[in-house]
Amino acid sequence: MQPAKRVNIVSVKLVKESSMLYKQRRVRSPQDSYELFRDYLGDVDREHFVVMCLDTKNQPTNISTVHVGSLNASLVHPREVMKTAILSNSASIICCHPHPSGDPTPSPEDVEITERLAAACKLLSIELLDHIIIGDDKFISLKEKGYF
């Protein structure tokens, strides 16, 4: 006979760390997404994988850094991206990461994670609106380029 097992009682919450003003109120285009992400990220020196959660009117509700990578790589798992989206009751999400090299051309890994995120979003009925890659004063929308 084994002794009884203690089971923890927990709750899961998002914690607001800070906020920023977004004058546009709604995200209407990849350009809008790029500008908001650029303001959020500033001049980072390594890859940050970021998710923006949006409500049913495409108004951003929050932005979260899901993973900070190295100079040229970021290992992102869909569960980490979706965790924020689920806890935020998001209707949709937009993902973003900068390429510190300055060249926003998507790598095969960028395309692969986008496909995996699109599949996870579909399963959870949360729309993946876009994946933005930021370079030096330019960006690429993987949605516009037809990657998903």
pLDDT tens digit string along 64-75?
999 998 766 667
Please state, as a whole number, how many other Cβ atoms lie within 10 Å of the Cβ of residue 140: 21
Residue 46, C-beta contacts closer than 8 angstroms, at least 6 positions apart: 68, 69, 70, 71, 100
CB of 132 within 8 A of CB of 27? no
Tell whether 60 is covered by a domain. Answer: yes
Average pLDDT over residues 69-84: 83
CB of 82 within 8 A of CB of 124? yes
Tell whether 24 is covered by a domain. Answer: no
Backbone angles phi, psi at 136, to 5 degrees: -75, 105
Domain that holds residue 69: 36-95+107-141
Domain count, the chain: 1
**57 pLDDT higher than 80:** yes
Average pLDDT over residues 55-59: 98
pTM of the model: 0.91
Tell whether 71 is covered by a domain. Answer: yes
Tell whether 113 is covered by a domain. Answer: yes
Which of 76, 134, 67 shows the shortest CA–CA distance to 100?
134
> Residue 55's Cα: distance from chain center in Å?
14
Backbone angles phi, psi at 55, to 5 degrees: -90, -170
Q: Supply the CATH number for residue 79's domain.
A: 3.40.140.10
Tell whether 129 is covered by a domain. Answer: yes
DSSP string over 19-45 = ----TT-S--SHHHHHHHHHHHH-S-S
Tell whether 49 is covered by a domain. Answer: yes
Indicate the pairing of strand 60-68 with strand 92-98: unpaired
CB of 76 within 8 A of CB of 67? yes
